[in-house]
């Protein structure tokens, strides 16, 4: 690898599988260039960069974010359910989340 290129990874996960694709990109390339160079869009046609959010090492980012050597670009899927709404529904149904202790029997 010469100084005009760098290695990055592109990650995408489904409930049943996870792929992490190493890819060589020119130094100074952005996240979108790495995603396109990785071939992940051909492998998973459901990915739409206009809809799916992306991040670099778990931190939300934009497609034009400049990458550094060994960065990992992650493509996120939309959530199936809104976690806040699920908690509201549980509270409305009178269910409690079991987190530790609970009532102590005397």
- The tens digit of pLDDT for each residue in 80-91 reads 777 788 888 888
- Using DSSP bridges, classify how beta strands 59-61 and 54-56 pair: parallel, antiparallel or unpaired: antiparallel
- Domain positions in the chain: 5-84
pTM above 0.85, yes or no: no
The CATH number of domain 5-84, selected from 3.40.630.30, 3.10.20.30, 3.90.660.10, 3.30.365.10: 3.10.20.30
- Per-residue pLDDT tens for 33-83? 999 999 999 999 999 999 999 999 999 999 999 999 999 999 999 877 777
- Please give the sequence-ordered ranges of beta strands (E in DSSP) within the chain, or none if there are none: 5-13, 18-26, 54-56, 59-61, 72-75
- With contact defined as beta carbons under 8 Å apart, do 35 and 25 qualify? no
CA-based diameter of the chain, in Å? 71
Contact 4, 68 (CB under 8 A): no
CB 60 within 8 A of CB 98: no
As a whole number, mean pLDDT of residues 14-35 equals 96
């Amino acid at each position: 690898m010469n100084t005009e290129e760098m290695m990055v990874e592109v990650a995408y996960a489904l409930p049943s599988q996870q792929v992490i694709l190493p890819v060589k990109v020119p130094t100074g390339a952005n996240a979108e260039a790495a995603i396109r160079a990785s071939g992940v869009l051909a492998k998973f046609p459901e990915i739409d960069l206009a809809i799916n959010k992306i991040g670099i090492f778990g931190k939300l980012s934009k497609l034009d974010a400049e990458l550094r050597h060994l960065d990992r670009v992650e493509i996120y899927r939309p959530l199936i359910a809104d976690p806040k709404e699920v908690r509201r529904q549980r509270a409305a149904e009178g269910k409690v989340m079991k987190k530790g202790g609970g009532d102590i029997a005397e």
